[in-house]
Structure 1
C-alpha cells in the first residue's frame, strides 16, 4: 500500500473511532467512574495500533501509588505513546484546551491545563499537588515545549516543587521517562525522517498528521527509569537535574541504536551501588568509574521489554 493510500484509509478510520469513543469517555467522566482513568489507555493503545506505532517498553511504570512521570516531548503523538502505557492524566499548556479535537480529548482525559505566566506558577502547582494527593498519576513535559526529537531541552524546575508534597503521608514518587522515535518500516529513522514525527515550531497539525500516516509503521522506544523521591536530593533543582540527565541519556542511547534494555538495567546497577552524596544532593558515581563489563553483558543478555499489543 502506497503512503498516500495508507493515510487516506487510516485517517478516516482514526477519526471515526475517536468520534465513536468520545461519548463513552464523556459518560465515564460525568459519572466519576473508575473507567474514566482506565479507558483513555485503551483508546491510546488503539490509536497506536491504527497509526502503526510499535511501542517498545523498557522498565516498569509506577502503578501502585500517586506518581509524577517526567518525559521529554517532541510531538502531540507522544500523548498516545505515553497514554498507551500509563493510566494517568497529562499536564499541558492552556492553549491545548482550544485545539480542534485534541483539546476535547485532553479535557476528557482530565488534563491539568497550566498558563505560562510566572505569577500563576504557585497556584497551578497547588492544583497539580491536589490531583496527586487525590491519588492521580500525572505526566509532565518539563521542557515546556516540543522540539525536533533529536535532543532533550533543559528542564524547567518550577513544577518539581510538587515533589515536596507527601500524598498519603509518603514522599511523592517521580519517575523519569525517555521517549524516542527510532525506526520506520523496520529501518533506523535518522535525522531527516525524525522531524516527520516531531511536531514543533509553526508546523501545521493536520498536514503533519497526514505525513506521519504516509510513512508507515514506526518503532517508539519508551524507557522508564528507576523512580526517585525528593528525599534523595538536596532540593527540587537537584531532583530536576537528575531527571533531565536520566531522560537525556535514555534518548541519546535510543537514537544511537543501543539496547534500551541494557540502558535500563545499567541504570539499575548504578542505582544499586548507591549514590555519592555531597551536601545532601544525589550524584551519580564518577564518570571515570566504568561499570563492570559483566554488568553490561548481563544487561544485554537479560533485558526484557514488552510491546504494546498489536
Structure 2
C-alpha cells in the first residue's frame, strides 16, 4: 500500500516539474541563453530526488575541452544521474527521438541521435558529434551501444569513438580529451543490492520502459556511484579501436571497484597500445558477481 502511495505522490510531482520545465527549456533553447545548458542540471536534480537516487561522485569531470565522456549504460536513469552532475549532452540511438516524453526531453537536452546499424551514416554522425565537441559541448557516449544488466560492462563499440578524431581532422582543434565514466548502482534502501536486486534499477534493452519507470517510482532509495576516471588526450594518430578498448577496461575497473567494494583501478599511465583485449584479472573478478 505504501509503495503505491509513494508512486502516486512522486509521479504527480514528476509530472508537475516536467510540465513546468519543458516550456522553460524550450524558451531557453530558442533564445540561445546560457541557461539552456545549466537548466537541465536543475531539472535532473529534482527528478533524481523524486526517484530516490542518492548520487555519490568519485573524482571529477575533466576541465579540458573538447571533451568526450565514454560511459557504461545500465539504465535510463543514467541520463538523470549524469545530467544532475554536470553540463553535458548525450549521444543517443535514433529510436529515443520518437519515444513519448523521453524523446522530447532528449531533444531539449540537445542530444545527438545516431543510427548505429547504418554504417553508411557513420561519418556524417561522427561529423555532427565532432562539431559539437569543437564548439565546447561535453558529449556523453554510452559506448556499449545498448543497456546492460548492471552487473557487468559490455564490449565497447568503436565506431563513434572516431568522432573525436573527426573533430581533429575537420575543425581547428588539435587534440581531444576522452574520459572514462563508470556508473554503478550499489544499494537499495541502504542494503547492498547484489545481482538479485539489481533488476530494480537495471534496464536491459528488451525490457519495456513503462514497468521500469513505475517500479522505480514505487521503490526508490537507490545509491549510485559515479566514477570520473583519468582523462586521456588523443590526437590524429590515436587508434580508435585501441582507445575504445582502453576506455572499456578503465570503466570496468571503476564499476567493479564499487560492486565488489575494493580497489581494482589500475595505474593511469596506460596508453591504448598497452591494453590487452580483456584484462584476465578483471575477468576473474567479474565472474564472482
**Normalised by the size of structure 1, how large is the TM-score?**
0.83
Which residue does 2:97 correspond to in 1? 97
Instruction: Specify the alignment match of 2:77 in structure 1.
Output: 77
Residue 157 (str. 1) matches residue 158 (str. 2): yes
For 1:116-127, list aligned pairs within 5 A: 116=116, 117-127=118-128
Q: Which runs of 5+ in 1 are unaligned?
A: 289-310
Q: Which runs of structure 1 show a deviation greater than 4 angstroms over 4 or more consecutive aligned residues?
A: 231-234
User: 2: CA distance between counterparts of 1:34 and 1:102?
Assistant: 23
Alignment partner of 1:3: what SS?
helix
Q: Any idea what SS the aligned residue of 1:281 has?
A: helix
Following superposition, the deviation at residue 89 of structure 1 comes to 0.6
5+ residue gaps, structure 2, are 281-289
Distance in 2 of aligned mates of 1:204 and 1:169: 41
State yes or no: 1:217 paired with 2:221. yes
> Contact conserved, 1:175 with 1:226, CA < 8 A, in 2?
yes
Structure 1 match to 2:108:
108
What is the deviation of 1:86?
A: 2.1
The CA distance in 1 between the partners of 2:100 and 2:243, in whole Å, is: 35
2:235 equivalent to 1:245: no
Per the TM alignment, residue 75 of structure 1 is displaced from its structure 2 partner at its CA by 1.2
Contact 1:3/1:216 (<8 A) preserved: no
Partner in structure 1 of residue 230 of structure 2: 226
Q: Is the 8 A contact 1:148 1:199 kept in 2?
A: yes
Mapped partners of 2:50, 2:74: distance in 1 = 20
* Residues 142 and 155 in structure 1, CA contact (< 8 A), matched pair in contact too: yes
How many angstroms apart in 2 are the aligned matches of 1:53 and 1:6?
14
- Measured against aligned partners, the alpha-carbon deviations of 1:3-42 in whole angstroms (never above 9, x if no partner) come to 2221121111111111111111000001111111111111
Q: 1:255 aligns with which of 248, 255, 259?
A: 259
CA deviation after TM superposition for structure 1 residue 147, in Å = 1.6
Shift of 1:240: 0.6
Corresponding residue number in structure 1 for 2:47 = 47
Alignment deviations for residues 64-95 of structure 1 (CA, whole Å, 9 cap, x no partner): 52210010001111100011112011000011
Q: Name the counterpart of 1:137.
A: 138
Cα deviation, residue 182, structure 1: 0.5
Count the aligned residue pairs: 275
Residue 56 (structure 1) aligns with: 56
Could you tell me how far apart the structure 1 residues matched to 2:242 and 2:86 are? 25
**TM-score, with length taken from structure 2:** 0.89
- Whether the 8 Å contact between 1:25 and 1:36 is mirrored in structure 2 is yes
Inter-partner Cα distance in structure 2 for 1:5 and 1:237: 49
Q: Which moved more, 1:136-145 or 1:203-212?
A: 203-212
